[in-house]
Protein backbone atom coordinates (compact mmCIF):
# COMPACT_ATOMS: atom_id res chain seq x y z
CA UNK A 1 0.00 0.00 0.00
CA UNK A 2 1.32 3.42 -0.98
CA UNK A 3 1.28 6.01 1.78
CA UNK A 4 3.00 9.24 2.70
CA UNK A 5 4.78 10.02 5.95
CA UNK A 6 4.01 13.76 5.63
CA UNK A 7 0.82 14.01 3.54
CA UNK A 8 0.11 17.57 4.69
CA UNK A 9 3.00 18.73 2.46
CA UNK A 10 0.63 18.55 -0.53
CA UNK A 11 -1.07 21.77 0.60
CA UNK A 12 1.85 23.67 -0.97
CA UNK A 13 1.14 22.30 -4.46
CA UNK A 14 -0.81 25.40 -5.66
CA UNK A 15 1.80 27.77 -4.18
CA UNK A 16 3.50 28.65 -7.53
CA UNK A 17 0.10 29.37 -9.12
CA UNK A 18 -0.86 31.68 -6.26
CA UNK A 19 2.52 33.39 -6.43
CA UNK A 20 2.11 33.93 -10.17
CA UNK A 21 -1.40 35.30 -9.72
CA UNK A 22 -0.64 37.72 -6.89
CA UNK A 23 2.96 38.67 -7.64
CA UNK A 24 3.01 38.91 -11.43
CA UNK A 25 3.69 42.40 -12.82
CA UNK A 26 0.63 44.24 -14.02
CA UNK A 27 0.77 45.63 -17.59
CA UNK A 28 1.44 49.38 -17.79
CA UNK A 29 0.40 51.75 -20.54
CA UNK A 30 3.23 52.39 -22.93
CA UNK A 31 4.00 56.07 -23.35
CA UNK A 32 6.23 55.56 -26.31
CA UNK A 33 7.24 52.83 -28.65
CA UNK A 34 9.95 52.28 -31.18
CA UNK A 35 8.46 52.09 -34.63
CA UNK A 36 10.29 49.92 -37.10
CA UNK A 37 9.36 49.99 -40.72
CA UNK A 38 10.67 46.51 -41.42
CA UNK A 39 10.83 43.84 -38.67
CA UNK A 40 12.20 41.09 -40.85
CA UNK A 41 15.30 40.98 -38.72
CA UNK A 42 13.37 39.88 -35.54
CA UNK A 43 11.15 36.86 -36.40
CA UNK A 44 13.68 34.25 -35.25
CA UNK A 45 13.92 35.73 -31.78
CA UNK A 46 10.15 35.99 -31.46
CA UNK A 47 9.60 32.43 -32.59
CA UNK A 48 12.24 31.08 -30.23
CA UNK A 49 10.69 32.76 -27.18
CA UNK A 50 7.18 31.63 -28.05
CA UNK A 51 8.16 28.11 -29.01
CA UNK A 52 10.18 27.30 -25.87
CA UNK A 53 7.98 28.99 -23.29
CA UNK A 54 5.21 26.31 -23.11
CA UNK A 55 7.75 23.49 -22.82
CA UNK A 56 9.65 25.16 -19.99
CA UNK A 57 6.40 25.80 -18.18
CA UNK A 58 5.45 22.12 -18.41
CA UNK A 59 8.92 21.10 -17.18
CA UNK A 60 8.68 23.51 -14.25
CA UNK A 61 5.23 22.25 -13.24
CA UNK A 62 6.34 18.60 -13.34
CA UNK A 63 9.54 19.32 -11.39
CA UNK A 64 7.58 21.19 -8.71
CA UNK A 65 5.08 18.34 -8.34
CA UNK A 66 7.86 15.77 -8.08
CA UNK A 67 9.68 17.81 -5.43
CA UNK A 68 6.50 18.12 -3.37
CA UNK A 69 5.94 14.35 -3.63
CA UNK A 70 9.54 13.78 -2.48
CA UNK A 71 9.03 16.08 0.52
CA UNK A 72 5.90 14.11 1.50
CA UNK A 73 8.15 11.03 1.95
CA UNK A 74 6.30 8.33 0.00
CA UNK A 75 6.42 4.84 1.54
CA UNK A 76 5.38 1.40 0.41
CA UNK A 77 3.90 -0.39 3.43
CA UNK A 78 3.66 -4.17 3.27
CA UNK A 79 1.21 -6.54 4.94
CA UNK A 80 1.40 -6.77 8.77
CA UNK A 81 3.62 -9.55 10.09
CA UNK A 82 3.09 -10.90 13.62
CA UNK A 83 6.18 -12.16 15.42
CA UNK A 84 5.77 -13.52 18.95
CA UNK A 85 8.86 -12.95 21.07
CA UNK A 86 10.25 -15.11 23.83
CA UNK A 87 12.26 -13.89 26.76
CA UNK A 88 13.08 -14.37 30.40
CA UNK A 89 11.86 -11.66 32.74
CA UNK A 90 14.08 -10.68 35.67
CA UNK A 91 14.06 -7.82 38.16
CA UNK A 92 17.28 -6.62 39.78
CA UNK A 93 16.95 -5.04 43.24
CA UNK A 94 20.05 -3.09 44.29
CA UNK A 95 20.77 -1.82 47.79
CA UNK A 96 21.89 1.85 47.96
CA UNK A 97 21.88 2.20 51.74
CA UNK A 98 24.68 3.71 53.79
CA UNK A 99 26.05 0.30 54.74
CA UNK A 100 26.95 -0.28 51.09
CA UNK A 101 29.59 2.42 51.52
CA UNK A 102 31.85 0.02 53.45
CA UNK A 103 35.03 -0.53 51.44
CA UNK A 104 35.60 -4.15 52.46
CA UNK A 105 35.33 -5.73 48.99
CA UNK A 106 38.40 -6.71 47.01
CA UNK A 107 38.21 -6.04 43.28
CA UNK A 108 41.18 -6.36 40.93
CA UNK A 109 43.64 -6.35 43.81
CA UNK A 110 42.28 -3.32 45.66
CA UNK A 111 39.55 -2.71 48.24
CA UNK A 112 36.38 -0.98 47.02
CA UNK A 113 33.01 -0.21 48.55
CA UNK A 114 30.15 -2.67 48.29
CA UNK A 115 28.19 -0.72 45.66
CA UNK A 116 31.23 -0.69 43.36
CA UNK A 117 31.38 -4.47 43.68
CA UNK A 118 27.64 -4.71 42.91
CA UNK A 119 28.05 -2.65 39.75
CA UNK A 120 31.00 -4.81 38.71
CA UNK A 121 29.01 -8.01 39.27
CA UNK A 122 25.92 -6.76 37.44
CA UNK A 123 27.80 -5.34 34.46
CA UNK A 124 28.69 -8.82 33.24
CA UNK A 125 25.36 -10.20 34.38
CA UNK A 126 23.33 -7.66 32.35
CA UNK A 127 25.57 -8.09 29.31
CA UNK A 128 24.76 -11.83 29.28
CA UNK A 129 21.01 -11.22 29.35
CA UNK A 130 20.67 -10.37 25.64
CA UNK A 131 17.13 -11.15 24.56
CA UNK A 132 15.77 -11.06 28.12
CA UNK A 133 13.61 -8.38 29.70
CA UNK A 134 15.26 -6.72 32.72
CA UNK A 135 13.84 -4.39 35.36
CA UNK A 136 15.73 -2.36 37.97
CA UNK A 137 14.66 -1.50 41.53
CA UNK A 138 16.76 0.73 43.80
CA UNK A 139 16.10 0.70 47.53
CA UNK A 140 17.28 2.17 50.81
CA UNK A 141 14.73 3.91 53.09
CA UNK A 142 12.13 2.91 50.49
CA UNK A 143 12.10 1.01 47.20
CA UNK A 144 11.63 2.61 43.79
CA UNK A 145 11.30 1.26 40.25
CA UNK A 146 14.17 2.83 38.35
CA UNK A 147 13.53 0.89 35.13
CA UNK A 148 10.45 -1.21 34.29
CA UNK A 149 10.89 -4.56 32.56
CA UNK A 150 12.52 -3.76 29.24
CA UNK A 151 14.65 -5.24 26.45
CA UNK A 152 16.79 -2.07 26.49
CA UNK A 153 19.69 -3.45 28.51
CA UNK A 154 21.90 -0.44 27.73
CA UNK A 155 19.45 1.87 29.50
CA UNK A 156 19.27 -0.44 32.50
CA UNK A 157 23.07 -0.48 32.69
CA UNK A 158 23.25 3.31 32.39
CA UNK A 159 20.70 3.83 35.16
CA UNK A 160 22.63 1.44 37.39
CA UNK A 161 25.94 3.20 36.67
CA UNK A 162 24.37 6.57 37.56
CA UNK A 163 23.08 5.34 40.93
CA UNK A 164 24.98 6.26 44.09
CA UNK A 165 24.87 5.57 47.80
CA UNK A 166 22.28 7.71 49.57
CA UNK A 167 20.25 8.36 46.43
CA UNK A 168 17.09 7.03 48.10
CA UNK A 169 18.12 7.18 51.75
CA UNK A 170 20.60 5.66 54.19
CA UNK A 171 18.79 2.68 55.74
CA UNK A 172 17.94 -0.72 54.22
CA UNK A 173 14.36 -1.70 53.39
CA UNK A 174 14.77 -5.21 52.00
CA UNK A 175 11.13 -6.10 52.63
CA UNK A 176 9.98 -3.06 50.66
CA UNK A 177 12.19 -4.05 47.70
CA UNK A 178 10.86 -7.62 47.62
CA UNK A 179 7.27 -6.44 48.00
CA UNK A 180 7.61 -3.94 45.14
CA UNK A 181 9.09 -6.60 42.86
CA UNK A 182 6.25 -8.99 43.69
CA UNK A 183 3.75 -6.24 42.88
CA UNK A 184 5.38 -5.60 39.50
CA UNK A 185 5.24 -9.30 38.65
CA UNK A 186 1.63 -9.52 39.86
CA UNK A 187 0.61 -7.22 37.00
CA UNK A 188 1.94 -9.73 34.45
CA UNK A 189 -0.05 -12.86 33.74
CA UNK A 190 2.79 -14.77 32.10
CA UNK A 191 6.27 -14.26 33.53
CA UNK A 192 9.25 -16.15 34.96
CA UNK A 193 8.85 -14.08 38.16
CA UNK A 194 12.53 -14.02 39.10
CA UNK A 195 14.04 -11.44 41.46
CA UNK A 196 17.79 -11.00 41.90
CA UNK A 197 18.39 -9.19 45.20
CA UNK A 198 21.80 -7.61 45.91
CA UNK A 199 22.32 -6.34 49.46
CA UNK A 200 24.32 -6.72 52.64
CA UNK A 201 21.25 -8.36 54.12
CA UNK A 202 20.63 -6.21 57.20
CA UNK A 203 17.04 -4.90 57.08
CA UNK A 204 16.78 -1.63 59.05
CA UNK A 205 13.77 0.19 57.54
CA UNK A 206 10.44 -0.20 55.81
CA UNK A 207 6.89 -1.04 56.85
CA UNK A 208 7.23 -4.56 55.42
CA UNK A 209 9.67 -6.97 57.06
CA UNK A 210 11.75 -9.41 54.98
CA UNK A 211 9.76 -12.29 56.47
CA UNK A 212 6.43 -10.76 55.42
CA UNK A 213 7.77 -10.00 51.96
CA UNK A 214 9.12 -13.54 51.70
CA UNK A 215 5.69 -15.00 52.48
CA UNK A 216 4.18 -12.74 49.83
CA UNK A 217 6.77 -13.90 47.29
CA UNK A 218 6.00 -17.54 48.10
CA UNK A 219 2.28 -16.93 47.63
CA UNK A 220 2.86 -15.23 44.27
CA UNK A 221 5.43 -17.85 43.17
CA UNK A 222 8.29 -15.37 42.82
CA UNK A 223 11.73 -16.97 42.89
CA UNK A 224 14.38 -14.89 44.66
CA UNK A 225 18.12 -15.25 44.07
CA UNK A 226 20.00 -13.35 46.75
CA UNK A 227 23.54 -12.05 46.32
CA UNK A 228 25.30 -11.04 49.51
CA UNK A 229 27.67 -8.11 49.27
CA UNK A 230 30.09 -7.74 52.17
CA UNK A 231 33.00 -9.31 53.98
CA UNK A 232 32.78 -12.21 56.35
CA UNK A 233 34.26 -10.56 59.40
CA UNK A 234 36.94 -8.86 57.34
CA UNK A 235 39.76 -7.87 59.67
CA UNK A 236 41.91 -5.95 57.23
CA UNK A 237 41.28 -2.81 59.25
CA UNK A 238 42.37 -4.30 62.54
CA UNK A 239 40.62 -6.09 65.36
CA UNK A 240 39.07 -2.94 66.82
CA UNK A 241 37.89 -1.60 63.44
CA UNK A 242 36.04 -4.54 61.95
CA UNK A 243 33.42 -3.81 59.31
CA UNK A 244 29.93 -5.32 59.70
CA UNK A 245 29.71 -8.74 58.09
CA UNK A 246 27.10 -9.86 55.60
CA UNK A 247 23.82 -11.24 56.97
CA UNK A 248 24.23 -14.54 55.16
CA UNK A 249 21.68 -16.37 57.29
CA UNK A 250 18.82 -14.02 56.38
CA UNK A 251 19.61 -13.97 52.67
CA UNK A 252 19.94 -17.75 52.53
CA UNK A 253 16.57 -18.17 54.25
CA UNK A 254 14.83 -15.89 51.74
CA UNK A 255 16.41 -17.63 48.76
CA UNK A 256 15.69 -21.20 49.87
CA UNK A 257 12.10 -20.42 50.90
CA UNK A 258 11.34 -19.08 47.39
CA UNK A 259 13.14 -21.92 45.56
CA UNK A 260 16.10 -19.71 44.74
CA UNK A 261 19.70 -19.73 45.89
CA UNK A 262 22.12 -17.57 47.83
CA UNK A 263 25.40 -16.38 46.27
CA UNK A 264 28.36 -14.40 47.51
CA UNK A 265 29.62 -11.41 45.57
CA UNK A 266 33.18 -12.26 46.62
CA UNK A 267 33.08 -15.69 45.02
CA UNK A 268 33.52 -15.53 41.25
CA UNK A 269 32.83 -19.22 40.74
CA UNK A 270 29.47 -19.01 42.51
CA UNK A 271 28.51 -15.95 40.47
CA UNK A 272 29.15 -17.91 37.30
CA UNK A 273 26.74 -20.51 38.64
CA UNK A 274 23.88 -18.00 38.91
CA UNK A 275 24.39 -17.08 35.25
CA UNK A 276 24.09 -20.73 34.27
CA UNK A 277 20.99 -21.32 36.40
CA UNK A 278 19.18 -18.30 34.95
CA UNK A 279 20.11 -19.44 31.43
CA UNK A 280 18.28 -22.70 32.15
CA UNK A 281 15.03 -20.91 32.94
CA UNK A 282 12.40 -21.62 30.34
CA UNK A 283 11.65 -18.64 28.13
CA UNK A 284 8.09 -17.37 28.17
CA UNK A 285 6.00 -15.74 25.47
CA UNK A 286 6.44 -11.98 25.67
CA UNK A 287 4.20 -9.37 24.10
CA UNK A 288 3.49 -10.16 20.46
CA UNK A 289 5.06 -7.65 18.11
CA UNK A 290 3.29 -6.70 14.89
CA UNK A 291 5.55 -5.35 12.19
CA UNK A 292 4.69 -3.83 8.81
CA UNK A 293 7.69 -3.73 6.48
CA UNK A 294 8.24 -0.29 4.98
CA UNK A 295 10.20 0.72 1.91
CA UNK A 296 11.10 4.34 1.22
CA UNK A 297 10.23 5.55 -2.31
CA UNK A 298 11.29 9.20 -2.11
CA UNK A 299 14.33 8.65 -4.34
CA UNK A 300 12.10 7.90 -7.39
CA UNK A 301 10.37 11.31 -7.60
CA UNK A 302 13.60 13.01 -6.56
CA UNK A 303 15.59 11.32 -9.33
CA UNK A 304 12.84 12.15 -11.83
CA UNK A 305 12.91 15.82 -10.80
CA UNK A 306 16.69 15.95 -11.26
CA UNK A 307 16.42 14.26 -14.66
CA UNK A 308 13.76 16.75 -15.86
CA UNK A 309 15.88 19.63 -14.58
CA UNK A 310 18.81 18.32 -16.61
CA UNK A 311 16.66 18.02 -19.76
CA UNK A 312 15.26 21.50 -19.24
CA UNK A 313 18.80 22.87 -18.97
CA UNK A 314 19.90 21.07 -22.16
CA UNK A 315 16.93 22.36 -24.16
CA UNK A 316 17.54 25.90 -22.92
CA UNK A 317 21.21 25.74 -23.97
CA UNK A 318 20.28 24.41 -27.43
CA UNK A 319 17.72 27.17 -28.03
CA UNK A 320 20.22 29.84 -26.98
CA UNK A 321 22.78 28.50 -29.48
CA UNK A 322 20.19 28.63 -32.24
Query: What tens digit of pLDDT does each residue of 270-283 get?
Result: 666 777 777 776 55
More confident residue, 190 or 153: 153
Q: Which CATH architecture has domain 86-285?
A: 3-Layer(aba) Sandwich (3.40)
Q: pTM for this structure? A: 0.60
Task: Name the DSSP class of 94.
Answer: E
Task: Give the residue extent of every domain in the chain.
Answer: 2-19+46-79+292-321, 86-285
Name the β-bridge partners of 295. 76
Torsion angles phi and psi, residue 254, rounded to 5: -65, -45
Q: pLDDT tens digit string along 86-128?
A: 667 889 999 888 888 888 777 777 788 888 888 887 888 888 8
Query: Residue range 31-35: average pLDDT?
Result: 53
Rounded to 5°, the CA angle 128-130-132 comes to 110
CB 302 within 8 A of CB 68: no
Q: How many CA atoms are closer than 13 Å to the CA of 23, on its beta-carbon side?
A: 6
End-to-end Cα separation, the chain, in angstroms = 48
What pLDDT shows up at residue 313? Answer: 83
Query: Residue range 196-200: average pLDDT?
Result: 87
Rounded to 5°, the CA angle 200-205-206 comes to 120
Amino acid sequence: MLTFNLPWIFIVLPLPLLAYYFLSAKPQAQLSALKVANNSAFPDAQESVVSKSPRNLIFAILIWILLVVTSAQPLWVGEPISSPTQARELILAVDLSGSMREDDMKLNGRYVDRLTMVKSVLKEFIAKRKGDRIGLILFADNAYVQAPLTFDLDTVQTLLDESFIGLVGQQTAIGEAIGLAVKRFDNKENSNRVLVLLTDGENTAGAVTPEQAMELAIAKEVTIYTIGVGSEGNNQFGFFNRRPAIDEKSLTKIALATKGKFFKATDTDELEEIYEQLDQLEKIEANEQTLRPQKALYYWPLASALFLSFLMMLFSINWERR
